[in-house]
Chain A
Amino acid sequence: MLSCLCTLTPLSVHAGEEQYIELSGELAEGRTIWIANCEGCHGYGIAGAPIPMRARDWAPRVDKPAEELYQHALQGFFGPDDTYMPARGGNDSLSDSDVIQAVNYMVALAKYYLEETENPK
């Protein structure tokens, strides 16, 4: 039996949507699609989904050809540890264009946080 020595404060590990920076043009639309369809896993690392706000998750990915990332998102993808990215994030109603815009936003978001990590203000 343990003595209760703890402070009963919920552990906060997530800051909310303000961390998903707003960008202009097509990336603004991509952000809306990403939050509605991708953030549920990629915002928290659910099922091994790489978090774009975490530099170490995306450093090896941002330099990949965009076409490769699009194909993974459109057709689904099994990662090296048998993690599983479902096709179109599990939402079959998303068009190819929707998925590509969401990928473009996620890559832009990852590059923003990579830059922030490498050159902190």
Chain B
Amino acid sequence: MKTRSKILFASTIGSAMTLGVAAAIANDAADTPSITPKTMADALHMVMDSDRAVYTRRIVNRLAAKEKVITASEHFEDEKALVLPAQMFRFGAEMVTERAAENPDVNFSYSLQSLWPINSQNAPKTDAEKEGLQFVVDNKGENYYTTEELGGQNYFTAIYADTAVSPVCASCHNDHVDSPRTDFKIGDVMGGVVIRIPIES
């Protein structure tokens, strides 16, 4: 019995030490830079793009286009409708901006911009944004990566094409009174997702 207690005690100490070492290693790993800004931007975009695709397919396509039990509309509050996929994306970007401002460790931003924005606030402002948005239009299937300095801070900036995935995307922009371009068709690059990550050098 005494021997069994000793074994149990030793085993418990051993387990605790193992857990302690594992926790220390995990803390070290968590604080050690091991991915590039490009990998981080690509990973963020993959999450954003997948979430948006799921919303478009499982919610909008299924309920609005297929089952026809509700509509999706830019004026979703007045019309008691689903928000458009692009609006959901923008709402997420706005929330991230608010939350990231309170947490400098995850201080990144993203936005949906266009060379032909319905809302002029979504037009590119920096040279990198203008060049990158034109690049993804001219080089379909490719992303744009660069660095820029804004307000004394260096950033890694990545731009990913935003494409019209259904006829409604194109017709909504083409028919909108504030749209500067009216010849979009499905499959066209209509704008881009701009992800900006602060960097040290």
Contact = CB atoms under 8 A, between A and B. Distances in A.
A34 to B, nearest CB: 12
Interface residues on A, range: 20 to 34
A1 B198 contact: yes
Interface in B153-201: 154, 156, 163, 165-167, 170, 185-188, 197-201
Contacts, number: 108
A78 B53 CA distance: 14
Contacts of A13: 141-142
Contact of A6 (B135, B143, B156, B185): B156
B163 A82 contact: no
B99 interface: no
Interface string B128-154: 000000010001111111110000001
* Chain A binding surface SS class: loop
A9 B144 CA distance: 8
Interface stretch (B1-9, B33-41, B109-117): B33-41
A86 B135 CA distance: 28
Contact of A10 (B39, B40, B58, B144): B144
A30 interface: no
Given A2-B40, A84-B66, 5 more contacts: A2-B156, A2-B198, A6-B36, A44-B140, A78-B65
